[in-house]
Amino acid sequence: MRFNRRRFFLSATAFFSTLAAALAVDIRLEYPQTRRVDQVDVIHGVEVADPYRWLEDDVRSSPEVAAWAAEENRITNNYLNLIPQRKAIRERLTELWNYARYSAPIKRGNKYFFFKNDGLQNQAVLYMADSIDGEPRVLLDPNKWSEDGTVALSGLSISDDGRRLAHARSEAGSDWATWRILNIESQEELPEELKWTKFTGAWWTKDGKGFFYTRYDEPERGVEFQAANLNNKLCYHRLGTPQSDDQVVYWRPEHPEWLYSASVSDDGRYLVVSIGVGTDERNRVLVRDLSEEDGEFVELVDNFNNEYSFVGNVKKVLLFKTDLDAPRRRLIAIDLQQPEQKKWGEVIPQSDATMVDVGFVNHLFIVNYLQDVVSRVKVFNILGNFLHEVELPGVGSAGGFGGRQTDTETFYGFSSIATPTSIYRYDIASNTSRLWHRDEVDFNPDKYLVRQVIYTSKDGTRVPMFVAHRKDIKLDGSNPTLLYGYGGFNISLTPRFSIHRAAAWLDMGGVYAQPNLRGGGEFGEAWHEAGTKLKKQNVFDDFIAAAEWLIDNNYTRPEKLAIEGGSNGGLLVGAAMTQRPELFGACLPEVGVMDMLRFHKFTEGRLWVDDYGSAEDPKEFRALLAYSPYHNVKPGTCYPATLIATADTDDRVVPGHSFKFAAALQRAQACEKPVLISISTRAGHGGGKPVAKQIDELADKLAFLLHNLDMNAEGRHNQ
């Protein structure tokens, strides 16, 4: 790891020399007089006011909402421009970001494919090489698709023979994607385009003549980014034909809420279809024998009670990762010759660790587990017998281990909170890893301490949390601290490297804390369910308890403590700050779900009922109303300094959530602490965001925290 100490300390000295001046800045705010309407809904006999309902209208088509958003952006930018260190932060982030980043390679045919970003390219470039250490050549460069970098590569699938590539393009951060096909040998793009797709792969048939994918009907003009997405269809596209000729392979019109995904087995024989109804990993399973010209679908699972993730097959035996009778998951086998559930066999049983992923490579199972929220990877033979553990380069997060059953090698990435990413080639037969690429970041991990602590939540539940900071800080309660959380949808927050949370925030002397809240998947399905629906308050209690632990253990104090989260994490921040406003010095709720009574009426929102419940249900309505951030803003309260973030093309969590929350907070604020909203243009929920835009937004967040946490008050950073 190269690290130029002299350049760093010169940079740090220049950076922090402007901090003192910032403290003297007196930034007074005058918020827009946001129009209120007399909108009252009666839900299960309860009157619920919604005075900012009009802010739900699409900002791109409503002149009134667009004018409101523009005025809010003007106020926010004026505020941020008065913080002297904002420019220096942006320059420092640009320096930190300027390093080559690689993805783990994918092997198809006799070629290797991987992404690389030279450093400041807005989008990563797809490369191809004839050997793993061969000279790479550019295959797709998304930076040429738009001048501002807002057209991104959002999906990729390569045929088994490595001759053709299907790829999806998304514009301005939207979840909508258009698929195109590239002939790899000739570098020519086929003329057809597959439109109106979301969250789909492209699953090639063995002959490479086409692939399966899912799509929606074209939505009505003007509601593309807000209307509920219904009537998903599984289709087959044959190369060289228009999308209008695509065959609908499976669709149940009597169930417009069903969602489809598929896999083609490595031998090309079976199409395995998964049907879901929400965000929970619980699905029905169908299988079709593609070797039979008119093969019918056979239903293997006819309910939505459990997860069944297809891993691979051995002839007529299909293998699935499942939580059936195993909340931490296990691997099972289903013989198509006797597919009844009572005949299912267990290959790898549940263990005390959470089974995250299973690769089936070189006819061996490579199983990625979470043990106390860090990665452990084990190898089993085809009978499920344990062979050995993969020796990882440290304590942190590992991901990858994909490939075909006949491959003899695989690749994985590894990082931790204070350890930048490295990519390794793993030789399966010899059980050895070879470094293929290491990110050379201007950051010295040896200066930092990362440890895992256990704290107690409100109901007595023990919750783990990672805490990272410079080794030289003093536990005197004066450290600026950033508490980041998510807590939902069975998603695990593992220790991973982040430029702004590690290389920037820690270098500034900040403490970073990341708790593993209930609702996540760190400890299996029971941990997830303990933070859902009527139990969702557990997640907020866990987060608040993490803040209290940091204060009680002298890391920080309320006026020095910031909280951050995005999407479901934005809801987390919104709920925590409305329930305990005195506990935090600054809040960063990003693209959050803030109106818990109406989220299910927009785009993919109906799917989140799995985690949140629905206002249509009387009991769930009362639970939702009790914590819904928008509905729990109380006039006359002093709320922490808040910078809300959203984007005009967010068609996952529509920006109306953040708009309404910002308007309510600004009207209610009873002290001088700022309540601002930043509305990014030509951006969405976060995916595909250009590097330049990411740097600008992160610089704004860090400048906001530096100013509002009074980070130079003790002069610690001038050392």
**Pair 273, 290: CB distance under 8 Å:** no
At residue 449, the 3 state secondary structure works out as strand
> How far does Cα 50 stand from its chain's mean position?
30
Cα separation of the two ends of the chain? 24
> Does 291 qualify as catalytic in the annotation?
no
- Both tokens of 69, joined, read 């958003």
CA distance 586 to 482: 9
Closest CA to 373 of 460, 510, 512, 491: 491
CA distance 265 to 244: 27
Q: Which residue has the tokens 């970073």?
A: 512
- Host H or E run for residue 377: strand 374-380
Closest CA to 100 of 460, 463, 462, 439: 439
Alpha helix positions (H), 82-142 = 85-97
DSSP class per residue in 285-316 = EEEEETTSTTPPPEEEE-SSSS-EEEEEEETT
Strand partners, 348: 331
For the chain, helix (H) and strand (E) counts, in that order, are 11, 40
**Pair 57, 656: CB distance under 8 Å:** yes
- Both tokens of 569, joined, read 């994490």
CA distance 137 to 129: 6
**Pair 274, 297: CB distance under 8 Å:** no
- Which of 154, 263, 375, 567 is catalytic? The answer is 567
Q: What burial letters (b/e) apply to 470-488, b meaning 16+ CB within 10 Å? A: beebeeeebbbbbbbbbbb
> Does 469 qualify as catalytic in the annotation?
no
Strands 247-250 vs 481-484: parallel, antiparallel or unpaired: unpaired
**Pair 393, 536: CB distance under 8 Å:** no
In angstroms, the Cα distances linking 139 to 107, 147, 624 are 14, 19, 48
CA distance 243 to 216: 12
Strand partners, 475: none
Closest CA to 493 of 425, 568, 419: 568
> How far does Cα 34 stand from its chain's mean position?
32
Rg for the chain, CA atoms, rounded: 26
Strands 259-264 vs 270-276: parallel, antiparallel or unpaired: antiparallel
Catalytic residues: 567, 685
